[in-house]
Amino acid sequence: MPQEGPFVLHVLGARPNFVKAAPVVNGLAGLGVRQGIVHTGQHYDALMSDVFFADLGLPEPVANLGVGSGSHAQQTAALLVGLEEVVLAHRPELVVVYGDVNSTLAAGLVCAKLRIPFAHVEAGLRSFDRDMPEEVNRVVTDALADILFVTSPDGLSHLSSEGISPSRVHLVGNPMIDSLFAALPKLDPKPVQERLGVSGRYAVATLHRPANVDEPEAARELVDAVLGVAEQVPVIVPLHPRGRGRLAEAGLVDRDGLKIIDPLGYVDFLSLVRGAVLVVTDSGGVQEETTMLGVPCLTVRPNTERPITVTHGTNRLVTPAQLPAAASKALADGAVTPSGELPVLWDGKSGPRIATIIEAWLRGDNLSPASRGALA
Ligand code: UD1
Ligand code: UDP
């Protein structure tokens, strides 16, 4: 890493952050920009954190705040205190935050109060559902960010209607898809299938949204729906730690057609998904990855902040009650993409685009809309 020049600090805390950040970190490294990662410790299990640093080749963090879990107030408060200290200690020229988790929101607030510029990667997504903690995080982070990197065109109109100046906004595509493309040569379903004792057709399910897993009644409804899928095709569930107990109480346990396992590392997970005939999820990122891998995806949510995965991908929104029938249709039809086109700029080059814009910004060149167009 260079010894001199402006310093960029990336704030990462949770599983999806790591996947989004790797292409940006690599892009900046390629341009010789001085940088470091702060790990907030929001996710801390080896399978929720360390394995991603290894699989994605992320450098060791310069600090780990170890904030851990808690209520929103407890966790956000710990994040604010820890991040303020670390930002003051490193005095970066720019902080980069990712996605919509509590670590993202806290880092944005700290920077705004310290008057340190920050960039938000994956700005502009909206579910318009304030029951989702992530939606609050998105709106606040975008309102405060100095540079906003948007993954899909709908994000541009959301930000514009919230009064955010287009001069701060850059449509760059999706860095999560850069990570997927980089991993593609390593995505072999066979070894992970063998390890799990899976043969033939199978589905993969991931479930962790509070609305699905926190309340006993919602969890029961969801588990019944997943069991309805498991009657049609074996379902493997790499289970997020959130709601593990609640879902088990509701009947999500190893049984005929249903295999519950620990969360998988990034390469193992995507390998398993690549070989699946169906994915059932409530994840944000998994909706995008299945679109690019051409695997049918049923998202058990009333809305999505990623509608492009429905219009330009393999994703369908379903209620728990609709899930078994939707699975039966998806298993019969295979992947169907309504528009026949993949999302624009999801081409594996978003990290370099973001890095180029950041590097120019660090040099004092706030790239004009025209030069930004050329970059795309
Ligand atoms: C967080 C994000 C969510 C994102 C998800 C990605 C917020 C508000 N939510 O949700 O947007 O989709 O990460 O996975 O930031 N736990 C462990 N080990 C860990 C981490 C968590 O056991 O390494 C358990 C703890 O019981 C904890 C619970 O999971 O209380 C929830 O963790 P937390 O980070 O608060 O939220 P997530 O549900 O993971
Ligand atoms: N993922 C993984 N192992 C798993 C489940 C998910 O590596 O067992 C990856 C997945 O490929 C995606 C990211 O984790 O890149 C998404 O994280 P998550 O679903 O936890 O968060 P969200 O996208 O919903 O915020």
Q: Is 16 in the pocket of ligand 2 (CB under 6 A)?
A: yes
**Same-fold call for 7-174+345-371 versus 184-333:** yes
Q: Is 312 in the pocket of ligand 1 (CB under 6 A)?
A: no
Q: What's the confidence (pLDDT) of residue 3? A: 75
Q: What's the confidence (pLDDT) of residue 27? A: 98
Contact 152, 308 (CB under 8 A): yes
User: Domain segments of the chain: what residues?
Assistant: 7-174+345-371, 184-333
Q: What would the two tokens of residue 260 be?
A: 């519950």
**Strand spans (E) along the chain:** 7-12, 34-39, 63-64, 94-98, 118-123, 147-150, 169-171, 203-206, 235-238, 258-261, 278-281, 297-299, 315-317
Q: Is 324 in the pocket of ligand 2 (CB under 6 A)?
A: no
Q: Which ligand has its closest atom nearest to the C-alpha of 293?
A: 2
Q: What's the confidence (pLDDT) of residue 370? A: 42
Rounded to whole angstroms, the Cα distance separating 323 from 325 reads: 6
The matching CATH number, chosen from 3.40.50.11540, 3.40.47.10, 3.40.190.10, 3.40.50.2000, for 7-174+345-371 is 3.40.50.2000
Give me the residues of the chain with pLDDT under 50, please: 368, 370-371, 374, 376
- Determine the straight-line distance between the first and last CA of the chain, rounded to whole angstroms: 27
Kindly give, in sequence order, each residue whose CB lies less than 8 Å from that of residue 352, ignoring residues fewer than 6 positions away. 23, 27, 30
Ligand 1 pocket test: pick from 242, 244, 247 the residue with the most ligand atoms within 8 Å of its Cβ.
242
- Residue that has been written with the tokens 């298993």 in this structure: 331
- Diameter of the chain by CA atoms? 61
User: Sign of dihedral through CA atoms 17, 22, 24, 28?
Assistant: positive
Residue 158 annotated among the catalytic residues of the structure: no
Q: Tell the CATH topology of 184-333.
A: Rossmann fold (3.40.50)
Pairing mode, strands 34-39 and 258-261: unpaired
Contact 84, 110 (CB under 8 A): yes
Q: Look at the chain and count its residues.
A: 376
Q: Is 94 in the pocket of ligand 2 (CB under 6 A)?
A: no
The 10s digit of each residue's pLDDT in 22-62 is 999 999 999 999 999 999 999 999 999 999 999 999 999 99
- What DSSP string describes 22-85? HHHHHHHHHTT-EEEEEE--SS-SGGGTHHHHHHHTPPPPSEE-------HHHHHHHHHHHHHH
Cα Rg of the chain (Å, integer) = 20
